[in-house]
Structure 1
Amino acid sequence: MKLMKIVLPIGILILGYAGMKGIEVSAADNTAAEKIDTRPTVTIDSLIPEDVRIQLTSYGEVTPLETTNLSAQVSGEVQTWNPKLVSGGLVRRGETLFTIEPDAYEAALLLAQANVASAEAQLIQEKAQADVAAREAKTMPNSKVSDLYLRKPQVMSAEAGLKSAQAQLKLAKRDLENCKVKAPYDALIVSRNISTGDYVTQGSPVAVLNNIEFAEVTFPVAGFDTKFLDANSLGREVVISDNNAEGISLKGVIHRDTGVVDNNTRMSYFVARISDPYAINSNGPTIKFGSYASVTFEGKVLKDVFRIPQELVTNRKLWTLDADNNLHSNKVNVVREDSGDFLIKGDFDPKRVVMNLPEYPQNGMAVKVIENLSDSVTAKAN
């Protein structure tokens, strides 16, 4: 009994120790069998080269093509004025804006017509007398026939008198016509300085008009954008959008290059022209003078560039995979930013571009490629 009491605990200890060692060996075998893959996972995609036409956008203020300080060309009392001749009024080319009392100018026209008739009669008389003198001269010796005898000076004087009378008649007609002051173009009335009964003198300012047949927007193009301008930019169509009114857009053309570069900003300036900005001759949208507008137009076509999200290009490097799924950085040329993407060119494999980088990518780093979700869905469907 005493021997059993000694042997039994020792046996239990031996069996427990053997079981513990067996568990350790089994765990080691499992660990060896389950080798952990520590490579970071990435997805890849293919890039396809494309031709991209650059869209350029700038901004500027809408201004009238011209502003006229209208003045009277004759003096007199204002008889009537057009109800549209008020601030904000719109008038058409040739429309009468106001009239000046015409009596004195009608009388001057009658007097000028009378002077022309008298000068014509005097010329007819002189020519008749010259014809008589010419017939008589045929029977006289040549030594006694002079220009004065033939009445040539008298005829020339009569002709000059007629021309002078005709000139006075022309001026009288013009002055009478100028009693009706008309719009020189389709116009927006800015201000009016006359009222009925006012006496205006020749050259006195009466109103300020803005030309609404055309409007212009002077807009800058930054130095780094000038290289994307098309060689035939002048005459190219632009879209002008009113930033003060949502959805208002009109078409125009690039009319001219101002020909200078700003010394401070190094920007070049171009002028876009809009036809009928106040839609007086159409049912289109209107854009008001003084509006701050955006100008959008097409530039050059970039050929064979790759479009890629900006976050995949760091320090002008793009990462790709080689055949062994190792990372490689590639220097690329960022040609332009476009709608949140980069347009790039470079010498790299466009079929294996890494779309999600590890936290600390290194050249030669081994990675594990996982399928794109779209690829997995397609594979399961097949």
Structure 2
Amino acid sequence: MSNDEVKRYLTIAKLFSFFIAILILLLGIISFVFFSSLRKPPAQAEQEEIPIPVNVIQAQPEDVPIILNGFGEVRTLATVPISSEVSGRVIRIHPRLEAGEVIPAGEVLFEIDPSDYQVRLKSAQAGLEQSRQTLKRIQEQFASDKERLKTLERTKDLAYSEFQRVKQLFEREKVGTQSNVEQTERAYNQALDAYNLLVQSVELYPLKVRESEEAVKSAEAQLSQAEINLSRTQVKVPFNARIKTVNLEAGQYVNPGAVVMTLSDDSILEISVPLDAKQATQWLPFQKDNINIDSAWFPPLEPKECEILWTEDKENHKWKGLLNRIERYDEKTRTVYTVIRIEKENIFSITDDKIPLVQGMFCQVKIPGKVLSGVYRLPDTAVSFEGIVYTAENNRLKSVQVERLYIQGDEVIVSGLKAGTVVITTRLINPIENSLLEVQKLGDKEAVS
């Protein structure tokens, strides 16, 4: 077989194999289509949408007073350190001079030995009497010398006249002697000297009187000081006081200024409540019409009534206080310290047990602030941190963006809703918009129509 014949045979064989393969492929496709047309499609299952059960409320706008919550410790308005104003040995102390005792105003707390101060008082009394007698004597002598001055002036004038008469008789008429002239001259000079001396003395009397009057005043001041020092040997209670601390015993020697006890006036109490500076300046009720433009400080506060709760038993112990003032601003913590004052008539709790508010109690204080008008009060479960509120509309979930204004307890005060909006109070985690809802009223199982 020649080479040409071999090549022709191989070509025919390849073409035959190609056509056989094409035929087999076509038969496979036809068979797949045929058998597929004979198979019935499976029945499709119907998917039912499952509703989300939720509780709702119908939001209505209202005027909501802001309540600022804070905590603070009760303190007395006046805490007074007591020290002696004179030195000496303590001879007597109050029989109930113990920490915690309440002593009425005016009673003697302790007494210092008054012996030395009684002696000084008597000495001052004697010194005053002596100064007064000296003044009286000088005044009487002044009056007497003024009368004597008139007499001496007359004597001087008479002596001068006699001297001139004798001198002229001797010089003109040679009557008398030179000795008589000299004698009358000496008499005149003596009268003149006496008169001049008394004039000088009388002129000094006003100064002596003033000096004596000043001496009397000084003696009176010394007497007054002696009386004060004697009275200070008894240290009395300045007000109805509770003994806070005491460091004094009978027989102890005390010095002026050394603190021996501390008294507290429990008739007026205060609580200093730290508040966030932003919230305080935004919500506290400042008196805008009473701003002092000369002082870079917070305006006065409106004296609104505050509720005080003892943190140890909030349900059974409550008191009333008044918003008083801004005490200080702490630049480190950015807090404003607001003072609540409790007057005497509000010291005891408004509950039946009448427990007194006591220094050192740690309390919660509810401070009424400004009033927000036309806002919505929602449970905190209904508002997300991003300010999203989920509402029910035709049993479908709709999300609404609101503005969170204030958190008050377990409620959030918001704006941005419409009156009558049905708000979902059930906490939902990333719900799908337009989800089907099974809407129920808050607190019962009846569906909202």
Distance, in Å, in 1 between the alignment partners of 2:286 and 2:424 is 37
Distance, in Å, in 1 between the alignment partners of 2:57 and 2:322 is 41
Residues 370 and 86 of structure 1: CA distance in aligned 2, closer, same or farther (over 3 Å): closer
Residues 298 and 37 of structure 1: CA distance in aligned 2, closer, same or farther (over 3 Å): same
Matched residue of 2:402: which SS?
strand
Deviations 1:178-232 (A, max 9, x none): 1111123332223333322333333444323333343332221023522221114
Greater alpha carbon shift after TM alignment, 290-299 vs 233-242: 233-242
Determine the structure 1 residue equivalent to 2:235.
181
Matched residue of 1:87: which SS?
coil
Distance, in Å, in 2 between the alignment partners of 1:221 and 1:301 is 18
Determine the structure 2 residue equivalent to 1:268.
336
Q: AA paired with 2:319?
A: L
Determine the structure 1 residue equivalent to 2:35.
none
Residues 358 and 74 of structure 1: CA distance in aligned 2, closer, same or farther (over 3 Å): closer
Q: C-alpha displacement at 1:150, in angstroms?
A: 5.6
| Among 303, 310, 315, the residue aligned to 2:380 | 310
Determine the structure 2 residue equivalent to 1:250.
319
2:51 paired with 1:40: yes
Determine the structure 2 residue equivalent to 1:339.
409
2:135 paired with 1:123: yes
| Among 259, 262, 266, the residue aligned to 1:208 | 262
Distance, in Å, in 2 between the alignment partners of 1:101 and 1:111 is 18
2:120 paired with 1:50: no
Distance, in Å, in 1 between the alignment partners of 2:440 and 2:108 is 79
Distance, in Å, in 1 between the alignment partners of 2:201 and 2:286 is 70
Residues 152 and 43 of structure 1: CA distance in aligned 2, closer, same or farther (over 3 Å): closer
Q: How does 1:152-231 map to 2 (within 5 A)?
A: 152-226=206-280, 227-231=282-286
Distance, in Å, in 2 between the alignment partners of 1:369 and 1:248 is 41
Determine the structure 2 residue equivalent to 1:86.
98
Distance, in Å, in 1 between the alignment partners of 2:241 and 2:426 is 60
Q: AA paired with 1:231?
A: F
Distance, in Å, in 2 between the alignment partners of 1:278 and 1:367 is 52
Deviations 1:304-361 (A, max 9, x none): 1111222222331223455x66543221011112231221100546344445588764
Distance, in Å, in 1 between the alignment partners of 2:313 and 2:95 is 29
Residues 185 and 303 of structure 1: CA distance in aligned 2, closer, same or farther (over 3 Å): same
Q: Is residue 308–residue 319 contact of structure 2 (8 Å, CA) maintained in 1?
A: yes
Matched residue of 1:151: which SS?
helix
Residues 224 and 130 of structure 1: CA distance in aligned 2, closer, same or farther (over 3 Å): same
Q: AA paired with 1:317?
A: I
Determine the structure 1 residue equivalent to 2:110.
98
Matched residue of 2:98: which SS?
coil
Residues 147 and 319 of structure 1: CA distance in aligned 2, closer, same or farther (over 3 Å): farther
| Residues matched between the structures, number | 343
Q: AA paired with 1:229?
A: L
Distance, in Å, in 1 between the alignment partners of 2:346 and 2:423 is 52
Q: AA paired with 1:294?
A: Q
Deviations 1:105-149 (A, max 9, x none): 2222222122222222222222222333445667859x9655853
Q: C-alpha displacement at 1:363, in angstroms?
A: 4.0
Matched residue of 2:128: which SS?
helix
Residues 84 and 273 of structure 1: CA distance in aligned 2, closer, same or farther (over 3 Å): farther
Q: Is residue 440–residue 446 contact of structure 2 (8 Å, CA) maintained in 1?
A: no
Distance, in Å, in 2 between the alignment partners of 1:92 and 1:208 is 15
Deviations 1:52-74 (A, max 9, x none): 11122211222333444322222
Instruction: List alignment gaps of at least 5 residues for structure 1.
Output: 1-27
2:330 paired with 1:319: no
Q: Larger helix proportion, structure 1 or 2?
A: 2
Residues 68 and 325 of structure 1: CA distance in aligned 2, closer, same or farther (over 3 Å): closer
Distance, in Å, in 2 between the alignment partners of 1:97 and 1:290 is 25
Determine the structure 1 residue equivalent to 2:87.
75
Q: Is residue 105–residue 241 contact of structure 2 (8 Å, CA) maintained in 1?
A: yes
- TM-score if structure 2 supplies the norm length? 0.65
Q: C-alpha displacement at 1:164, in angstroms?
A: 0.8
Distance, in Å, in 2 between the alignment partners of 1:150 and 1:312 is 100
Q: AA paired with 2:382?
A: L
Q: C-alpha displacement at 1:366, in angstroms?
A: 6.1
Distance, in Å, in 1 between the alignment partners of 2:428 and 2:260 is 75
Residues 203 and 348 of structure 1: CA distance in aligned 2, closer, same or farther (over 3 Å): closer
| Among 301, 307, 319, the residue aligned to 1:239 | 307
Q: Is residue 440–residue 448 contact of structure 2 (8 Å, CA) maintained in 1?
A: no
Matched residue of 1:212: which SS?
strand
Residues 152 and 340 of structure 1: CA distance in aligned 2, closer, same or farther (over 3 Å): same
Q: Is residue 78–residue 100 contact of structure 1 (8 Å, CA) maintained in 2?
A: yes
Indicate the RMSD between aligned Cα atoms, in angstroms: 3.8
Instruction: List alignment gaps of at least 5 residues for structure 2.
Output: 1-42, 155-194, 288-300
Greater alpha carbon shift after TM alignment, 57-66 vs 152-161: 57-66
Distance, in Å, in 1 between the alignment partners of 2:430 and 2:253 is 86
Residues 277 and 195 of structure 1: CA distance in aligned 2, closer, same or farther (over 3 Å): farther
Q: Is residue 51–residue 435 contact of structure 2 (8 Å, CA) maintained in 1?
A: no
Q: Is residue 270–residue 342 contact of structure 2 (8 Å, CA) maintained in 1?
A: yes
Distance, in Å, in 1 between the alignment partners of 2:256 and 2:446 is 87
Deviations 1:239-283 (A, max 9, x none): 3333345633333333332332341x3222123333459969xx9
Q: C-alpha displacement at 1:176, in angstroms?
A: 1.1
Q: Is residue 320–residue 349 contact of structure 1 (8 Å, CA) maintained in 2?
A: no
